[in-house]
């Protein structure tokens, strides 16, 4: 795990310094404060997002795997937006785009309707074939 964190932190530092150099320190500070604010707002609204996802599961539009993926990606995206840095913001936005994909594009399954009403057990479904009608035409054509 440490082999992944150290290169990430080095890349985050290099990219952040390049952005400060390009945009300037004031706009970089605005970016950082803005992304932290968005991340905190997303975390505060995470319960609403989770219950909305539970509603999609209860309607049959999602399965539990999609619920788990969307919840994890939502939380990861919000937390990555709170971490200051350009690279973490990019990964956070990618995670939130995955949540949007699951919410709007991947749920093409129709809603499941719960039919609990069963028909009468005394009814027998049959098919009637009328043989007499065919015999009448064959007799009349021979006359």
pTM of the model: 0.68
**How far apart are alpha carbons 12 and 102 in whole angstroms?**
28
Residue 95: per-residue pLDDT: 95
**Residue keyed to tokens 């795997």:** 65
**How far apart are alpha carbons 63 and 67 in whole angstroms?**
7
Q: What is the pLDDT of residues 98-121, one digit of tens each?
A: 988 888 887 655 555 555 556 566
Is 87:15 a contact under the CB 8 Å cutoff? yes
Q: What is the pLDDT of residues 3-62, one digit of tens each?
A: 888 998 899 999 999 999 999 999 999 999 999 999 999 999 988 888 888 887 888 777
Is 38:45 a contact under the CB 8 Å cutoff? no
Per DSSP, the three-state class of 130 is coil
- Give the mean pLDDT of the chain: 82
Is 54:67 a contact under the CB 8 Å cutoff? yes
Residue 120: per-residue pLDDT: 61
């Amino acid at each position: 795990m440490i082999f992944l964190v150290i290169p990430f932190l080095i890349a985050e530092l290099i990219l952040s310094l390049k952005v400060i150099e390009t945009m300037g320190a004031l706009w970089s500070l605005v970016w950082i404060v803005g992304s932290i604010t968005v991340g905190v707002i997303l975390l505060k609204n995470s319960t609403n997002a989770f219950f909305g996802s539970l509603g999609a599961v209860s309607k049959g539009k999602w399965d539990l795997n999609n619920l788990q993926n969307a919840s994890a990606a939502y939380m990861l995206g919000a937390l990555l937006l709170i971490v200051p840095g350009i690279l973490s913001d990019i990964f956070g936005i990618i995670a939130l785009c995955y949540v949007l994909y699951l919410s709007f594009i991947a749920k093409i399954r129709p809603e499941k309707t719960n039919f609990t009403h069963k028909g009468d057990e005394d009814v027998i479904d049959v098919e009637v074939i009328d043989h007499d009608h065919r015999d009448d035409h064959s007799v009349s054509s021979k006359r």
